[in-house]
Amino acid sequence: MNTDTPTRPPRLELIGITKAYPSVIANQDVNLVVRAGEIHAVLGENGAGKSTLMKIIYGVTKPDSGSVLWDNREVSIDSPAQARKIGIGMVFQHFSLFETLTVAENISLALDSAIAPNQLAQRITEVSEQYGLPIDPHRLIHSMSVGERQRVEIVRCLLNNPRLLIMDEPTSVLTPQAVLKLFETLRRLAAEGCSILYISHKLDEIQALCDKATILRGGRVTGTAIPSEETRESLAQMMIGRSLPECQMAPQAPAETRLSVKQLSLPTIDPFGTPLKNINLDVRSGEIVGIAGISGNGQKELMAALSGEHPMPKGATTTICGVTADRLSPGQRRDLGLRFVPEERLGRGAVPSMSLRLNALLTSGTGDGLVNNGLISYSKVRAFAQDVIARFNVKCGGDEALASSLSGGNLQKFIVGREIAQRPKVMIVAQPTWGVDVGAAQIIRQALIDLRNEGVAVLVVSEELEELFMICDRIAVIADGRLSPAIPAAETSVEKIGLWMSGAFEDAKVEEVQHA
């Protein structure tokens, strides 16, 4: 850790940055100083305005007011190209890579000076080796894992010789082990004088890596800190204005198996998808089973197969509450008591352009008499929607508000609430709290635990290990389309699950069989 940071010259300085959108003020009077060679965290929960601020620095978005100083000189960054020119690089949370192009082509698109293709490939190899980020310049992006793609993004920045590197939530796509490697790379860069702006909402990472932190809440700076000198509690206090909420969960013995999948192998028709390989999974009444894994390892395909959106292949057997469900459609599975909350809220879990009322009807057509003889009973639909809104404290402009007008957290509460209100026997939730603020995340997690306490079989897919350890009775890992055995959360650790996330659970399976 650098102790002499304050004496170093400031590289980037933001003064009074304000940016307002019609419905929300993303940044208000934000001040920020990043010094040369400093790893500076911008800490804040979802919706705190971190991403907007980074886009302003990178020239993607223009601030309404305020000034940006670069090496003590005021600059106006109008475009990413200009940002790169003065030495700013950015690794996006949602990568800005082109799937059908090669690594070299992708990198060449972001270089402002044209380099001959063969020279470029050589430069890519050099830089990637120098910083411990091995990549093959001739591979197509869509054949690469998310972790590899991140390396491409980083190498792409490094080739522009940045003096400030912005990393936006970089660890959500990495296994815990890969996170440590990334930190090494970042420390090396900082030691060479490159400043790093590290955007995250993960307190322990920031404490482990960053020299300095600026904390945002509701678009305003609520404090600056030296993370190593703070406690988790004090950082959380600054980030959300109170201490981190905890979930209430007592141990409980599970009962009968309610969801069972045997030998599910699923080739993918999407050329950019992941085929599933021999997946076996049981979820019992009264337990929460979590599936950990880096996204893109088959979660999407597994969910679609379980929900019935993708027809089950021959040879696999699925039973829901004891009934064979292989050939059943999503609606028929719902009738059996299987309820599903998909990862994509707008466009899949809810129709953006429709009111909450009609969205309540989306998955409730066969239950509770909302539809009689093919006719919609609008009064009942309305009552149902209002009930969900009230029970789950969904902040919205009433049941006629459009789904697209809700914040991520409120829409997720609505969707989860809608499914819970239909009294599920099996509940499947993908990424329950992705992009959701801490308050809503707490409500959603507690709702899932309550379901489990009532005897529902709950399956949760999440990229956040911390979340899974918080609410799961058993945890399995999905890697490259294969699913590990589910082991009791109490008997495993973040490290072990992390190892499994890179696919190293084949031996473990044998081990478990021997135990049994």
Residues 406-445 that bind another protein (CB under 8 A): 406-408, 435
Dist. CA 346–CA 360, nearest whole Å = 14
Question: Between residues 340 and 505, which has the closer beta carbon with respect to another protein?
Answer: 340
Which of 96, 257, 386, 442 lies at the binding interface for another protein (CB under 8 A)? Answer: 96
Question: Between residues 333 and 382, which has the closer beta carbon with respect to another protein?
Answer: 333
Cβ atoms of residues 295 and 246 within 8 Å: no
Dist. CA 28–CA 30, nearest whole Å = 6
- Locus of tokens 């409980």: 252
Distances (CA, A) of 134 to 91, 144, 155: 17, 12, 9
Question: Between residues 19 and 35, which has the closer beta carbon with respect to another protein?
Answer: 19
Question: Between residues 205 and 343, which has the closer beta carbon with respect to another protein?
Answer: 343
Q: Is 9 in the site for another protein (CB under 8 A)?
A: no
Dist. CA 103–CA 156, nearest whole Å = 9
Which of 70, 92, 198, 414 lies at the binding interface for another protein (CB under 8 A)? Answer: 92
Residues 176-205 contacting another protein, CB under 8 A: none
- Closest approach, Cβ 307 to another protein, in A, equals 7
Question: Between residues 35 and 55, which has the closer beta carbon with respect to another protein?
Answer: 55
Q: Is 323 in the site for another protein (CB under 8 A)?
A: no
Q: Which stretch binds another protein (CB under 8 A): 94-102, 208-216, 275-283, 462-470?
A: 94-102
* Exposed e or buried b per residue across 34-55, where buried means at least 16 C-beta atoms within 10 angstroms of its C-beta: bbbbbbbbbbbbbbbbbbbbbb
Question: Between residues 20 and 494, which has the closer beta carbon with respect to another protein?
Answer: 20
Helix, strand, coil percent content, the chain, rounded in steps of 5: 35, 25, 40
Query: Interface mask (CB under 8 A) for another protein, residues 381-400, using x and -?
Result: ----------------x---
Q: Phi, psi at residue 260, to the nearest 5°?
A: -140, 130
Residues 344-383 contacting another protein, CB under 8 A: 344, 346-354, 358, 361-363, 365, 371, 374-376
Dist. CA 157–CA 128, nearest whole Å = 11
Q: Which stretch binds another protein (CB under 8 A): 53-61, 66-74, 126-134, 244-252?
A: 53-61
Strands (E), 273-384: 276-284, 288-292, 317-320, 323-324, 338-341, 371-372, 375-376
Query: Interface mask (CB under 8 A) for another protein, residues 237-276, using x and -?
Result: --------------------------------xxx-----
Question: Between residues 307 and 484, which has the closer beta carbon with respect to another protein?
Answer: 307
Which of 331, 369, 398, 488 lies at the binding interface for another protein (CB under 8 A)? Answer: 331
Cβ atoms of residues 99 and 140 within 8 Å: yes
- Closest approach, Cβ 286 to another protein, in A, equals 26
- Closest approach, Cβ 354 to another protein, in A, equals 7
Query: Interface mask (CB under 8 A) for another protein, residues 276-315, using x and -?
Result: -------------------------------xxx------
CA angle 381, 436, 494 (to 5 degrees): 125
Cβ atoms of residues 414 and 387 within 8 Å: no
**DSSP assigned state of 49:** S
Question: Between residues 80 and 298, which has the closer beta carbon with respect to another protein?
Answer: 80
Rg (CA), the chain: 24
- Closest approach, Cβ 95 to another protein, in A, equals 7
- Closest approach, Cβ 347 to another protein, in A, equals 5
At a CB cut-off of 8 Å and minimum separation 6, what does 511 contact?
none
Residues 102-141 contacting another protein, CB under 8 A: 105, 108-110, 114
